[in-house]
Structure 1
Amino acid sequence: MGMLMPEITAATVSEWLKDYSAVISEHANELTDLDRQIGDADHGSNMARGMNAVAALDPQSFSSASELLKKAGMTLVSTVGGASGPLYGTFFLRLSTVIKTDGEPTAQLLADALDSGLAGIVARGKAEVGDKTLVDALSPAVDAAKQVAADGGSVADALAKASTAADEGRDSTIEMVARRGRASYLGERSKGHQDPGATSMALLVESAARCLSGGQS
């Protein structure tokens, strides 16, 4: 492709966070409808409120991408109700600990960052693959990014394959019986419904692929 890789800076991270905020706002009703079927009907509105607050952070007031990611995580924890705030907040906080220095990223760095984010979510929410949560979208995305990195592939390829894997993981939640979160109260009745958290996570990975790959995907 020969596209110039954008350096990871507070500015590029801000572009990604603003893009994800816009996508969440666009899909807020859909996410809330999914949550109405198996949860408490607030995932879309909660995520939109939190990401609006994150998108309002001025990248010029942060000296590095890491600082902005850390603030984004803390903002989500403090502004988003339910489980989503702590889980997504933890995700961005973990990213900030891996993306320590600005500069041109590698596929390995982004795979490691996503992997750390996944580990944080698992530690916080105690969910695993198959529980019908956002982990079902993020875990395959991490595996896909790691594989591209191991093969010496590009950042763009790692993120594109991660996004595809996240979408497949999201779709796989439809036939799952929820074992975590509010949906788990429904037992077998949770089957046949797409998980809202897996849906918002797939949108996040797709946004990263669009904004951090060096050109429009």
Structure 2
Amino acid sequence: MGVDNFVNWLRDAAGSLHDNAAYLTELDSAIGDADHGANMDRGFRAIVALLDETSFETVDELMKKAGMTLVSKVGGASGPLYGTFFLRFGTALAGADLTPATIGEAFTAGVGGILQRGKAELGDKTMYDAWAPALDAYDAAVAGGADLAGALTAAAEAAAKGRDATVPLVARKGRASYLGERSAGHQDPGATSTTLLLESAARTLP
């Protein structure tokens, strides 16, 4: 496994986010600025353009450049949050052998960056409600001897459950929190895009 696997992930994720852009925006229109789908689509199209014109020698270089692209191209909260995720993810893999354990450590580092920027906690109705169970499931799978495919599949399935569990929550962070009790009954768009990214990783990284 090497750079090509991660290029495949980014390209596949871009396709998935493009296909789901209208859906993500629909979710965001209920409790946010109605721009999450468009923002994610624009950011990942910029990543695809980068991949089309640039080759990368190392995974950390690739992922850090992807992160910087998102920070510079995506508005709202999602650009800085996902951009920081990929920057930290790449940094964690610098010089590391690519194993299920080290990739798990990179996911943890990336989500740590999201938490540092967003200050969210579990139950706040944010993307972290998908990331937190995904990390737990990934680590448990690796500890149980799973290969990368098994660990990523477990993470994606846990993220989907976390995404679905955001529906009844009252938002405590971001634009959705302005709605108070009216934010309940709506699925969080950030948790949804997180799940799409992890489902893409499970399809393409192993």
Choose which of 89, 95, 113 in structure 2 pairs with 1:95. 89
The separation in 1 between residues aligned to 2:11 and 2:171, in whole angstroms, is: 31
The aligned counterpart of 2:61 is 67
The aligned counterpart of 2:111 is 118
Choose which of 55, 63, 72 in structure 1 pairs with 2:48. 55
- The answer to whether the aligner puts 1:170 opposite 2:175 as a matched pair is no
User: What is the number of equivalent residue pairs in this alignment?
Assistant: 205
8 Å CA contact 1:65–1:101 kept in 2: the answer is no
Matches within 5 A, 1:107-146: 107-146=100-139
8 Å CA contact 1:8–1:102 kept in 2: the answer is no
TM-score (norm 1): 0.91
Q: Which runs of 5+ in 2 are unaligned?
A: none
8 Å CA contact 1:65–1:102 kept in 2: the answer is no
**What RMSD, in angstroms, separates the aligned Cα atoms of the two structures?**
1.2
Deviation at 1:152, TM superposition (A): 2.2
8 Å CA contact 2:129–2:162 kept in 1: the answer is yes
The separation in 2 between residues aligned to 1:115 and 1:176, in whole angstroms, is: 24
After superposing on structure 2, the runs of 4+ consecutive aligned residues of structure 1 that deviate more than 4 Å are none
8 Å CA contact 1:146–1:158 kept in 2: the answer is yes
- The answer to whether the aligner puts 1:19 opposite 2:8 as a matched pair is no
Deviation at 1:156, TM superposition (A): 0.8
TM-score (norm 2): 0.96
The separation in 2 between residues aligned to 1:159 and 1:81, in whole angstroms, is: 28
Q: Which runs of 5+ in 1 are unaligned?
A: 1-6
Choose which of 180, 184, 187 in structure 1 pairs with 2:180. 187
SS of residue matched to 2:186 = coil
Larger mean CA deviation between 109-118 and 158-167 belongs to 109-118
The aligned counterpart of 2:34 is 41
8 Å CA contact 2:63–2:87 kept in 1: the answer is yes
